[in-house]
Amino acid sequence: SILSLDLHAARARIAALPWVERVEIERRLPGQLKIRVVERTPVARLRRRGYVSLVDKTGVEIDTRVRGDRRFTHLPILSGDSAASAAPALMKLLSRHPKLGRRVLAARYQGRRRWDIKFDTGVVLMLPERHVAESWDRFVLYAARHGLLNRKARHIDMRMHDRMVIRLEQQEAPKAPPAKNKKRRRKGGNG
């Protein structure tokens, strides 16, 4: 019977599903239930030992069965201890400059205090523990002005507040021309 249905228990069962962010249930007499479900939206993949899960904007893990699922390959991969709980702050930071934020392939939470961000060009940006938003804004400005993501940079280190250190890719040393195999003539008395 619609009158004997425990709405609180039904709401709790639906809310316990991993993809459900919010649920509302109403009785509509004489014989209907109105159920409104808001799903969680994944913003990143979280790599842990042995599995990959999805994380929403609040850091809640949604689903742990996404390792080979191609629908989510466009999402950045997060890793490191406590990366899920730090994900909301990172997503908020990246959304400050969405054009550059969309170029992030992966981010590793280092020592439970700061992020290393890998871009689609292979460049790794090492953000500081403090003044993160200021450093991110400065990086975005420099990246636009000086094409930092298009250069031969390997790491861009911004862990020191007052400077940016750029480590370039190792270039191969130029190869020496092949040695010519000349026979030397002996100078002797016979000529």
Out of 63-67, 86-90, 99-103, least confident range? 63-67
Non-local CB neighbours of 79 within 8 Å, separated by 6+ positions: 46, 47, 48, 106, 107, 108, 109
* pLDDT (mean) for 80-107: 95
Q: How far apart are CA 86 and CA 115, in angstroms?
A: 9
Does residue 175 have a pLDDT over 80? no
- Burial classification of residue 139, based on how many CB atoms lie within 10 Å of its CB (0-12 exposed, 13-18 middle, 19 or more buried): buried
Report the predicted TM-score, pTM, of the whole model to 2 decimal places.
0.77
Task: Pull the structure tokens for residue 174.
Answer: 């130029």
Q: How far apart are CA 118 and CA 64, in angstroms?
A: 23
pLDDT of residue 173: 55
Dihedral sign of CA atoms 68, 71, 74, 80 in order:
negative
pLDDT of residue 31: 85
